[in-house]
Amino acid sequence: MEHLSGYGGCDKEKLRLLAFGCNLYGQLTDDPDWSIETNWKTTEVDTDWFKNGNTDRNDTPAEPIREPSLFTSVDTPTVVMTARESMRVLYVGSHSICVERDGNIYLRGLLSTYAPGNSRKTRELAVPLPPGVQTCNVTKAFGTRWAFLGLILSDGSVYTFSLTDWSFTILRCAATENPVDDIQINRLGDICFLYSPFSEETRAGGSIIRIYPPLPSITKHLYDASLQSLITGSISPISTFHLKTDYPSEGVSKKVIFKSISSTSTGFVALTSNGNIYTYGDQRFNSLGRPPDAVITSIAGANAQGWGQVTALEGIVINQIGANPGGHVQGALAEDGTVYIWGGDGTENINTSLEPRSKGGEEDEEVVMVDIVHPHGSEPVGFDGVYVGEDYVVLAEEESRYLWVSGGSDMGQTGFGSDYRCLPTALGVDEEIKKRKGVWRRLDLGMIEGRWRITKVDCGSGYNLVLLDSNISA
């Protein structure tokens, strides 16, 4: 097994990965020999926790009991990885990350300590790819907050990861009969498949999203969760959203397709090619950006049960969406560089019924435009990236030189140390406290001056990863 060299391990590096925040399991450590020596104990997993209509959002499947001495944090943005040619963060979980670097796939953090033969419990190991598969074929990775589940290739095939065997195997089942573009899994265990618009099923145009209920092979497992239930069980989707509409573009009629999907704690958000946003989720939480009963009632040939459009942003061309499978906050980046956020902290409607509310009288959940005046002028700041953590948001300022952060900072995840902070959209927070603790702060990454530019930010559970590229012209 091969481990990856950290900062300083590459000559002439073209890419760097910065990290800051909670480093409980060594996923942010730049020392390749860092190891976990503690014998982990796992509490019993309650597989019925998500079925309780009144469950608290903090009730999650069990996680290991850790020794207090293991808790560490990276207080300031630090280079933890470098690469000569290529680097991508493919998966970010609560305790582990998956990174493609210079032609290899690596798992870093807690999961690598469970690899067979890793007696030293080193926190980073390479995972061999199947014969004939190269990293250039890998487009995405997916998993739960606790388990890394697999890879998606450019041809739409899906390879699942086995923690026991430390290997990948192609997934063949009804859910993967058509090419897959993305897979997202929320905290409840619901699985959202985005299918390629060029699949056999959508040859007439449009694109399809299917949501499957929680799988036993996920809910009954923690780190070794899998998609095995899709193979061995007769699992049917609970919602199928098929877009078949046209929209005019420069005088030409174009098919609307789904551009991307993201997961929230209890739902999903989807972006279409014409810039519209649709949300799916649990009405107990203010995370839909729309009234809970404002759902799609009829689309020809589709059962879009549970999906509804965020009409507050209708007419605004959205280029990017952001969400986090551990939280309820969502963000959207418009074509003109404006950012919008919505969603509460997940506690305000915790005890409401799962049954649909009576229609009428529902108000739109507030969708807020981020309005920040540039510190060296009077013009509003424009952005080219929005990234969402469990209870915080990170924005990349235009020209990719600075980050703006707001929200939870109890684990140092916003780069300003550990203290109480909240988002401007936080509910149930005193307005005076919100004015002081819900402000946006500009994170100055002095180390990226010169040729380095921010290309992507990934938000984990109390930590962030910032990818820097030196190949981008100033």
Specify the higher pLDDT residue, 387 or 256: 387
Asked if 474 and 398 touch (Cβ cutoff 8 Å), the reply is no
Asked if 362 contacts 433 with a C-beta cutoff of 8 angstroms, the reply is no
Furthest C-alpha separation in the chain: 65
Helix, coil or strand: residue 85: coil
- The sheet carrying 268-272 orders its strands as 258-263, 268-272, 277-280, 307-309
SS3 235: coil
On the question of pLDDT at 6 being above 50, the answer is: no
Model confidence pLDDT, tens digit, residues 114-146: 999 998 888 899 999 999 999 999 999 999 999
Distance (Å, whole) CA 209 – CA 452: 37
Return d(Cα 428, Cα 337) in angstroms, integer.
30
Alpha-carbon gap, residue 267 to 243, rounded angstroms:
19
Average model confidence (pLDDT) for the chain? Answer: 82
Q: pLDDT digit string (tens) for 439-458?
A: 899 998 876 767 788 999 99
Structure confidence by residue, pLDDT tens digits, 319-340: 999 999 999 999 999 999 999 9
**pLDDT level of residue 30 (50, 70, 90 thresholds):** low
What pLDDT was estimated at residue 357?
Answer: 44
**pLDDT-derived band of residue 247, with 50, 70 and 90 as boundaries?**
low
User: Bigger pLDDT: 291 or 249?
Assistant: 291
pLDDT at 442: 93
pLDDT at 232: 84
**Any residues with CB less than 8 A from the CB of 449 and at least 6 apart, and which?**
401
When mean pLDDT is compared across 47-51, 291-295, 389-393, 404-408, the lowest value belongs to: 47-51
Name every residue whose Cβ is closer than 8 Å to that of residue 62 and which is 6 or more positions away in sequence: 42, 43, 44, 45, 46, 222
Helix (H, G, I), strand (E, B) or coil at 70: helix
- pLDDT given for residue 159 in this prediction: 98
- Angle made by CA atoms 444, 459, 256, in degrees to the nearest 5: 110
3-state class of 294 per DSSP?
coil
SS3 442: strand
Convert the pLDDT of each residue in 342-393 to its tens digit: 987 544 433 333 444 444 434 456 899 999 999 888 899 999 999 999 989 9
* Long-range pairs, 373-382, Cβ under 8 A, ≥24: 375/442, 382/336, 382/337, 382/338
Domains of the chain, by residue range, sit at 1-41+62-127+448-474
- The identity of residue 402, as a single letter, is Y
For residues 294 and 388, give the distance between their C-alpha atoms in angstroms, rounded to a whole number.
24
**Confidence (pLDDT) at 264:** 94
Predicted TM-score (pTM) of the model is 0.86
Q: How confident is the model at residue 305 (pLDDT cuts 50, 70, 90)?
A: confident
